[in-house]
Amino acid sequence: MRLASSVFPRSCSDVRDFRNIIAWQKADDLVVHIYELTESFPKSENYGLTSQMRRAAVSVAANIVEGSARATLKDYIHFLFIAKSSLVEVEYYLHLCHRLGHLNSDNYHRATQMQKEAARVLQGLIQHIERQMQSHT
């Protein structure tokens, strides 16, 4: 799959400013959406699914940010893989919340679409960084 060039930062300095990273932008949008969705969850889920799903979503964006501040590409990509794992965790929580009736089908499909788009863009960034690492060895 070929990704649009706008998915990738223009230069190394852009890589280090997380606000310019499209994967972070998608993850940040997902966090806000997850917070909005979970506002209507039952109060009994405040310390359960609501908290877990919010933490996993925040972890995606936060790990992209933390990785972008690291000094080496090896460290950077390590945090990108943690973000990728957290995105899979979000995917599962969305599935579970839908099965439990906390998310209607429309909300579930929209959130899942956002999660998949964030995962697609993050995977593109990972591949881009891996190519950079290979060219530096």
pLDDT score recorded for residue 15: 46
Helix, strand, coil percent values for the chain (each to nearest 5): 80, 0, 20
pTM attached to this predicted model: 0.86
pLDDT score recorded for residue 136: 81
Domain assignment present for residue 3? The answer is: no
* CATH number for the domain that contains residue 103: 1.20.1440.60
User: From CA 134, how far away is CA 5, in angstroms rounded?
Assistant: 19
Q: Is the CB of residue 60 less than 8 Å from the CB of residue 31?
A: yes
Average pLDDT over residues 124-134: 94
Domain assignment present for residue 61? The answer is: yes
Per the structure, the complete domain to which residue 55 belongs is given by: 14-135
User: From CA 90, how far away is CA 95, in angstroms rounded?
Assistant: 9
Domain assignment present for residue 45? The answer is: yes
- For residue 65, pLDDT beyond 80: yes
User: From CA 44, how far away is CA 26, in angstroms rounded?
Assistant: 29
Number of domains in the chain: 1
Domain assignment present for residue 25? The answer is: yes
Q: Is the CB of residue 68 less than 8 Å from the CB of residue 129?
A: no
Average pLDDT over residues 48-77: 96
Domain assignment present for residue 92? The answer is: yes
Taking only the tens place, the pLDDT of each residue in 32-52 is: 999 999 999 999 999 999 999
